[in-house]
Structure 1
């Protein structure tokens, strides 16, 4: 839902003969380049048996490619002043490099090698599978991470969106080298690849590199169906842990990134828990002292979304906080105030401009727009959409978020906090707004 800092004329989208899209975003006065290569696929395309394969493949391509070892790949990037990383999400997998302009040629060739010509050695796979299993164990040992996984599993039960992107022991053991080779051809198919460079870059130079390095990507061996539409089922997950604080996550259905009310939903989220002046921070922390940490966020995918609240609090305060969170969501959907709407709109617009000052964020936002909307959206258009989110628009979006009465909740911590999950879901289903609204 974000956009790079652009004027009236955004950068052009070039399409290579094999379907790879290329975007050049020059930023005058800068001395570095951000190169991003992303594919419009991720963990949502996995069956239960294949859970975690996209993330495992992301790890494996760094272990060696085109005759170079993992160490040689790392040395090649860092010798030119570059830094490289990658991330697997539900709907895309992103590889990125930050480097000096003279390092762009090598960075493009290297990303092409690891995406299109990875070694995928069986011995590397054995080692990297263990690394990912340790990553899973580490996440399970972090309560403020695990509680989000628990809540999303409840929200999208028995669906790819409800499964851990990292996978699990059984599914990772099924991934042999042959399976990962087939998975790579489908996951990184050229018609889903987007190459973006932002910063000290010339368009002709980028197009030359893209033609050299990515026009060679072959077609997918067979068409793969789109993932089934997601369905927010709602539900409850609890985990009894001997902790000082309870970790709480409350969720309700959201909107798709392309929905006409998506920006109004984002304004709703900002009003609810987007900063120190938000409803939840002021009421839960400042007025009542129920929690040190409390905030709200939204997820906007291709066909659905979710709105969530996170809080860390003492077990004795968990149920009161659950009722407060539900009540504030309901009251905001009915009675947004102009002052909070103005603050939320200003914060969202400021976030757009601040993000545009980061080359890596600019490039990643361009990828998101092309894969989600099929075009680049000027920041002036985004600002106008945000400005159009008046009280009526936010009420409409809020009503849509809450109309089903469905909710999901997760509580991780002392058993005394667990009833908060049930109480939140019951309050959301009842559709009433308990307790006074904020003054």
Structure 2
């Protein structure tokens, strides 16, 4: 599999990923526009814009027409908004590439941003925001990010707030679209069966205006003491997220950090899964992950635990954070590497995931590695590198903790963090 990246005359980029034997093809528009590019007044506009792309164009006047056309192709079409990007994708049988790319391109380039549809969709998004807030296992992530990235746009919720969403008008959308949906901020990735590609990618990318590139991200504040945010709720469990600042995507330690997260809480044999769930029965769900952004990252553990056992669970997590650099073993490293390579292979069997992975690499590094190259890089990670990244990251003064639970005070959690 050879990944071909071509910069277009308007500074957009075309990525072609032929997959031998594939019967399907995925088309993805990846735009450098996410919640991080917002402010307090327009928070939620990236996500709302994503919704509006499916509400009608001149050629396809409404959501019903769009859905009927996609269904008639046997295609799956969707989109997602993140902190630093938004992407739109359609997956179909290879013989429908010309029709599916025309459909997706029309949606991304030619949304009407109809005022009636905007007003109607406000209700949909407000209910989505309420849904996230009502579910503690989802809301804990927004709470944690607001703590870690306080006074920075990275801390804004991706879906926005009800107040900002209800204030949007058509001009909010057209201004945002003109600022960010430009050629230099756009990749078009076509992966899978490329038999019928025949220059279609270049043709549709030419529809993007040259525009401007996104600004450099804001400088994030440094942390020199532990931080805590607490939200009292009358619920049966305590939901917690605890962690430390992590590794940016371009940091050479990124893979070591990912492997460390797997060892701690990334699978069923991981330390925290075994300790909190299997040995002590404190939690149903517990996991550790390493998140990587352009200039920031987070290493965090999330768990939903019995409300009377939250303090015990936190102490066990901190014990692993404190000691893993001293006692991580070669056997754990080998198992985590094989697990990482395995889930990567499973994920990349899905052509849409293959395309999104290429876009993310290109966005953050300016280059792309195929799956075999990534696996070779994983194999190079040494035990000493994992130990060192654990020692570098898990510092008590860098701890952040978000808690949602049925407590009338955060005092016991203050004590754990030594605040």
CA RMSD of aligned residues (A): 1.8
Structure-2 residue corresponding to 1:360: 352
Question: Is 1:163 matched up with 2:156?
Answer: yes
**Within 5 Å, which residues of 2 pair with 1:174-323?**
174-202=167-195, 205-206=196-197, 208-220=199-211, 224-231=214-221, 233=223, 235-323=227-315
- Local SS of the residue matching 1:251: strand
1:140-155 correspondence to structure 2 within 5 Å: 140-155=133-148
Cα distance in structure 1, aligned partners of 2:128 and 2:238: 23
Deviation at 1:111, TM superposition (A): 1.7
Q: Is the 8 A contact 2:32 2:214 kept in 1?
A: no
Match of 2:406 in 1: 414
Distance 2:74 2:412 in 1: 50
Change (3 A) 1:277 1:420: farther
Deviates more, 1:294-303 or 1:282-291: 282-291
TM-score normalised according to structure 2 size: 0.95
Do structure 1's residue 99 and structure 2's residue 89 form an aligned pair? no
CA shift, 1:402, in A, is 2.2
Residue 77 (structure 1) shift? 1.4
Matched position secondary structure for 2:89: strand
Greater shift, 207-216 or 58-67, is seen at 207-216
CA contact (8 A) 1:250 1:407 kept: yes
The structural deviation recorded for 1:253 is 0.6
Task: Classify 1:292/1:384 alpha carbon distance in 2 versus 1 (closer, same or farther; 3 Å).
Answer: same
Quote the offset at 1:28 in angstroms: 2.1
Measure the CA separation in 1 of the matches of 2:232 and 2:172. 38
- Is the 8 Å Cα contact of residues 159 and 230 (structure 1) preserved in structure 2? yes
2:112 paired with 1:119: yes
Q: Using the alignment, how far apart are the partners of 2:239 and 2:400 within structure 1?
A: 14
Query: Aligned partners of 1:320 and 1:245: how far apart in 2?
Result: 14
Residue 423 of structure 1, CA deviation: 4.4
Please report how far the alpha carbon of residue 238 of structure 1 lies from its aligned counterpart in structure 2 after TM superposition. Answer: 1.6
- Select between 376-385 and 297-306 the one with higher mean Cα deviation: 376-385
Cα distance in 1 between the residues matched to 2:396 and 2:219: 17
What is the CA–CA distance in structure 2 between the aligned matches of 1:297 and 1:398, rounded to whole Å? 13
- Tell me how far 1:272 sits from its aligned partner: 0.4
Distance 2:198 2:39 in 1: 36
**Structure 1 residues not aligned, in runs of 5+:** 1-5, 430-439
Q: Residue 121 of structure 1: CA displacement?
A: 0.9
Q: What's the secondary structure of 2:268's corresponding residue? A: coil
Q: Is the 8 A contact 1:250 1:308 kept in 2?
A: yes
Distance 1:353 1:25 in 2: 16
Query: Structure 1 residues 395 and 32, CA, compared in 2 at 3 Å: closer, same or farther?
Result: same
Cα distance, 1:235 vs structure 2: 2.5
Task: Tell which has more relative contact order, 1 or 2 (C-alpha 8 A, sep 6+).
Answer: 1
Shift of 1:103: 2.0
* Match in the other structure for 2:131: 138
Deviations 1:202-222 (A, max 9, x none): 3xx4352122222121122x5
Aligned to 2:369: 377
Alpha carbons 1:316, 1:417 under 8 Å: kept:
no
**Residue number in structure 1 paired with 2:36:** 44
Cα distance change of structure 1 residues 180 and 338 upon mapping to structure 2, 3 Å threshold: same
Deviates more, 1:69-78 or 1:118-127: 69-78
Matched residue SS, 2:6: strand
CA change 1:199–1:419 in 2 (3 A) is farther
Cα displacement (A) at 1:287: 2.2
> What displacement does 1:334 show?
2.8
Contact preservation (8 Å) 2:227, 2:400: yes
Number of equivalenced pairs: 416
Give, in whole Å, the separation in 1 of the partners of 2:118 and 2:73.
28
Q: Is the 8 A contact 1:290 1:313 kept in 2?
A: yes
